[in-house]
């Protein structure tokens, strides 16, 4: 079950991929992390899918990570009395808090938080940015606007307010109920939507504690303005390009994606590139060349994972989408330019302030470049050592050993990590004896091959990475 690539695949389960036999096929085809999208389905759907995943995990003896993606606040207009209306450029259009039967002149906007944040001159985007309004006058219960970009508007279409931090929590009451279900079924990662500031992540962490790790979905420009703080507060990051592309010009998203990936690599946080990666495969058995190039770009940049959404959740070809994504990653990583790109970008991702773990891992990276070992063996308790080693993007697979099943599952997301749940070890000699055996058994090398081992002494204490050993299988 050894993967022959470093970047990981996240795939969303849904109506097209809920059969336990297909879930196993998706895992065998290359899925490392399975996403449960709490914007759709009911609690029992997610429980059944999680149970199927744990059965696959037990059958194959390999940790599988489960990511619960919370819906977050959904800001929408009300309903229209006579069906969809047509808004013309230059016309006046009123939004009001109080209930009203919508017309081509006015509609309800049942979100006091939006009115509290609006100022004259602000813009609102409706229906994923297809329509654009400019605020002329506003108060706590209404806003008079001018239509800048017109079009058809129908019931309950979404509203975005670019450039404004809304006084609203990233966790709705629905999210809190869904979070309770997610933690009950034992998910490993929780993705937060609508993150605007690091405090949103702190709020979620107070509820989650140590039961799961947190992914900050970067989909709001306000979060980008505090990017380093948001990354520092989260355990991982998702580049939610679809939502970012609503509030930002389309041409701004590609350089922003690269900026986020680089910032995450510098901080040592796993980063997932998501949204519309193989979108045409919802219907087509093959992707467009542009989609294949999009996936490849994320891999060349050193992203930890690339994600399938509707392609695997509701598309006609979920298994083929995974297989194609797997082939794209393998082809990119076989390209000599791939390693050159990683090497060229690595110096920019060095931490500003170094510590003993940083020094040990930098030495490890140099040793790997010189010796070309069969594997880097990481003995870790919480997973911190393996995440830190993954940040180096060294040219050897990472064999991560941990006695904590939860840590083994979470580490599946990290670049290059082959995660194993093993018995507790209490001294480095045990690691040394175990390392050579596992490198051979897991298919990384054979007798006589060198390996590099990384650990922290004393064992069992988080953040004590202070030892590097070079051994022979």
pLDDT bracket for residue 358 (50, 70, 90): confident
Distance (Å) of CA 444 to CA 311, 409, 431, 450, 469? 32, 20, 17, 11, 17
For 203, counting Cβ atoms within 10 Å of its Cβ (0-12 exposed, 13-18 middle, 19+ buried), the class is middle
Cβ neighbours of 328 (radius 10 Å): 25
The answer to whether 161 and 124 are in contact (CB under 8 A) is yes
Q: Is the pLDDT of residue 58 over 80?
A: yes
Q: Is the pLDDT of residue 347 over 70?
A: no
The DSSP annotation for 6-33 comes to SSEEEEEE-GGG-SHHHHHHHHHHT--E
Q: Is the pLDDT of residue 350 over 70?
A: no
**For 404-462, how does the pLDDT look when each residue is reduced to its tens digit (9 = 90+)?**
999 999 999 999 999 999 988 878 888 888 998 999 999 999 999 999 999 988 877 77
Per-residue pLDDT, 351: 59
The radius of gyration of the chain from alpha carbons, rounded to an integer in Å, stands at: 24
Q: Is the pLDDT of residue 353 over 70?
A: no
**Rounded Cα gap, residues 358 and 385, in angstroms:** 10
Per-residue pLDDT, 392: 93
The answer to whether 308 and 282 are in contact (CB under 8 A) is no
Q: What is the CATH architecture assignment of 350-472?
A: 3-Layer(aba) Sandwich (3.40)
Q: Is the pLDDT of residue 345 over 90?
A: no
Domain limits, CATH 2.40.33.10, in the chain: 85-160
Look at domain 85-160 and name its CATH class.
mainly beta
Whole-prediction pTM value? 0.94
Q: Is the pLDDT of residue 152 over 70?
A: yes
The first and second tokens of residue 323, run together, are 């297989």
Dihedral angle sign, alpha carbons of residues 288, 289, 294, 295? positive
Per-residue pLDDT, 1: 66
Q: Which residue shows structure tokens 């679809």?
A: 242
Per-residue pLDDT, 349: 62
Domain at 8-73+170-332, CATH homologous superfamily: Phosphoenolpyruvate-binding domains (3.20.20.60)
Residues serving a catalytic function are: 35, 76, 217, 275
The first and second tokens of residue 444, run together, are 């990384």
β-pairing, 213-218 vs 189-192, is: parallel
Determine what percent of the chain is predicted with pLDDT higher than 90.
Answer: 86
The answer to whether 87 and 48 are in contact (CB under 8 A) is no
The first and second tokens of residue 34, run together, are 């399975």
Distance (Å) of CA 213 to CA 50, 196, 236, 379, 473? 17, 18, 8, 20, 34
Domain limits, CATH 3.40.1380.20, in the chain: 350-472
Bridge partner list, 379: 401
Q: Integer distance in angstroms from the first to the last C-alpha of the chain? A: 20
Distance (Å) of CA 472 to CA 287, 399, 411, 439, 455? 44, 15, 25, 10, 17
Per-residue pLDDT, 12: 98
Domain limits, CATH 3.20.20.60, in the chain: 8-73+170-332
Distance (Å) of CA 36 to CA 55, 173, 269? 16, 18, 21
The DSSP annotation for 300-324 comes to HTT-SEEEESHHHHTSS-HHHHHHH
**For 281-333, how does the pLDDT look when each residue is reduced to its tens digit (9 = 90+)?**
999 999 999 999 999 999 999 999 999 999 999 999 999 999 999 999 999 99
């Amino acid at each position: 079950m050894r993967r022959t690539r470093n970047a990981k695949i996240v795939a969303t389960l849904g109506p097209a991929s809920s059969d336990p036999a297909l879930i196993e096929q998706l895992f065998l085809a290359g899925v490392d992390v399975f996403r449960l999208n709490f914007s759709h389905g009911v609690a029992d759907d997610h429980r059944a899918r999680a149970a199927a995943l744990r059965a696959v995990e037990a059958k194959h003896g390999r940790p599988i990570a489960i990511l619960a993606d919370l819906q977050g606040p959904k800001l929408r207009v009300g309903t229209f009395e006579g069906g969809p209306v047509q808004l013309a450029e230059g016309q006046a259009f009123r939004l009001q808090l109080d209930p009203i039967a919508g017309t081509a002149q006015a509609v309800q906007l049942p979100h006091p938080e939006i009115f509290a944040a609006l100022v004259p001159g602000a813009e609102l985007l409706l229906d994923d940015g297809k329509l654009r309004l400019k605020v002329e006058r506003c108060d706590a219960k209404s806003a008079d606007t001018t239509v800048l970009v017109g079009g058809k508007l129908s019931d309950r279409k979404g509203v975005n307010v670019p450039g404004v931090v809304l006084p609203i929590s990233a966790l709705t009451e629905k999210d809190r109920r869904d979070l309770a279900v997610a933690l009950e079924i034992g998910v490993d990662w929780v993705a937060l939507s609508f993150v605007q500031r690091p405090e949103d992540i702190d709020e979620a962490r107070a509820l989650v504690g140590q039961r799961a790790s947190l992914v900050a979905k970067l989909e709001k420009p306000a979060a980008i303005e505090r990017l380093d703080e948001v990354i520092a507060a989260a355990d991982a990051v998702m580049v939610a390009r679809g939502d970012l592309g609503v509030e930002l010009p389309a041409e701004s998203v590609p350089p922003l994606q690269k900026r986020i990936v680089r910032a995450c690599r510098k901080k040592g946080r796993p980063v997932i590139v998501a949204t519309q990666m193989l979108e045409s495969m919802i219907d087509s058995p093959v992707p467009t060349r542009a989609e294949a190039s999009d996936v490849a770009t994320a891999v060349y940049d050193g992203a930890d994972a690339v994600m399938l959404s509707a392609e695997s959740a509701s598309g006609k070809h979920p298994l083929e989408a995974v297989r194609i994504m797997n082939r794209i990653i393998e082809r990119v990583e076989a390209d000599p330019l791939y390693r050159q790109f990683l090497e060229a970008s690595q110096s920019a991702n060095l931490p500003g302030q170094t510590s003993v773990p940083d020094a040990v891992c930098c030495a490890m990276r140099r040793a790997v470049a010189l010796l070309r070992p069969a594997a880097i063996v990481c003995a870790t308790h919480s997973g911190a050592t393996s995440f830190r080693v993954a940040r180096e993007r060294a040219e050897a697979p990472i064999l991560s050993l941990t006695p904590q099943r939860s840590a083994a599952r979470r580490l599946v997301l990290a670049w290059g990590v082959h995660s194993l749940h093993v018995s507790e070890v209490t001294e480095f000699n045990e690691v040394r004896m175990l390392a050579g055996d596992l490198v051979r058994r897991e298919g990384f090398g054979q007798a006589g091959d060198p390996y590099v081992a990384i650990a922290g002494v004393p064992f069992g204490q988080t953040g004590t990475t202070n030892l590097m050993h070079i051994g022979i299988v």
